[in-house]
Structure 1
Amino acid sequence: MLKGEAKMQISRKSDYALRAMIYVAAWENDKICSINEISEAEKVPREYLAKILKELALQGFLQSFKGINGGYRLAMPREKISFLTIIEAMQGKVAVNDCVRKAGSAEACSRMGGCAMHSFWNAEQERVTKSLSSVNLASLDYETYYPEARKKAKKQPVRVL
C-alpha cells in the first residue's frame, strides 16, 4: 500500500464467498453446482472454496449434496441473502473502525463519550451497513454475467404447487 492510501476492504474469504454465492444464485436452484464448476467459473482455489462452501452450508445459506453428482444450491430464496449477511457469516461484524466494532463491549473505546470523531464513525458505519444490506442476490444482473444459467432457467416450466 502506498503512503497516504487508505484501505478498507472485506477479507479474501468474504470475497470468495460472495462470488460463490452469486454463481450458485444465478442458477436459481435449477441445478446443483459442483465445487469444481464454481472454482473454475469464479477463479477461486478449489481447496479453499470447499472450506468456504462447507461453512456457508453449515450456516444455512446453501444445501449440500454428496456423491458423484453432488454440489451446492441455495437453501433459501435469493431475496433473503444480502451481501452483508454473507460477509458477516465469513468474517464477523463489518465495522469501519475499532471504535464502532467494539462499541458496547468491555473493549469499547475509552473516549466513547468525548470524541469528536465518534458521531462521524457511527454515521459511516450506518451507511456501510445499509449499503451492504440493500444488495441481495436477487438484485444482481445475472442475464449479462451468467447467460447460460439464465437460458436454462427460462426453459424450465413453472410448477404451481
Structure 2
Amino acid sequence: MALLVYVGDIVITSNDHSSVFALKSFLEVARSSTGISLCQRKYALELLSYSGLLATKPVQSPMDQNCKLSKVDTALLAYLNSYRRLIGRLIYLTITRLDISYAVNTISQFQDKPCQSHLDAANHVLRYVKLNPGQGLLFSRFSSLQLKAFCDSDC
C-alpha cells in the first residue's frame, strides 16, 4: 500500500483493494455536499472498550473544573506503562477531537510519576469522549478562506 501526501492532496493506492477500504474505514473520512468530515469513532469506541469504560456514565466536560492535579500526590500507580499507553492513545485521538486537547495536554504532563488522581482525570476524558464518540472535524466547502487558530497553552 502507498499513501502519498502533497500539500492538500492525498492519494491512497494498493494492489489489494480491501486494504485501501480498511484504511478509509479506519480514518472515517466522509465526503458530503457540506464538505469533508474526519472522525475516529471506531478508535474512540475501541479505546473505551480497552479501558473498561464502555458501560460507564458519560460526563459533560473533558475535565472536572475542580480538578487540581499536582506532581506531589499519593503513591505512584503500579502500572506506569498502562497509564503512558492510555495517554498516547488519547493524544492520537486529539487529531480529530480538538475539544479534548487541553485536558489531554494537562494530564500528559504527569507521565513521569503518575498517581491515581492523574488516572482518574484520564478516565474522565474518556467518559467525556463516550458522550459523543463520533465527534470530529468538518472541513466545510462553504467556509471562507479566513485563518482560524486554536491554542491550548496555559501561560
TM-score (norm. length: structure 2): 0.26
Higher strand share: 2
Structure with more relative contact order (C-alpha pairs < 8 Å, separation 6 or more): 2
Which of these two proteins has the greater Rg computed from alpha carbons? Answer: 1
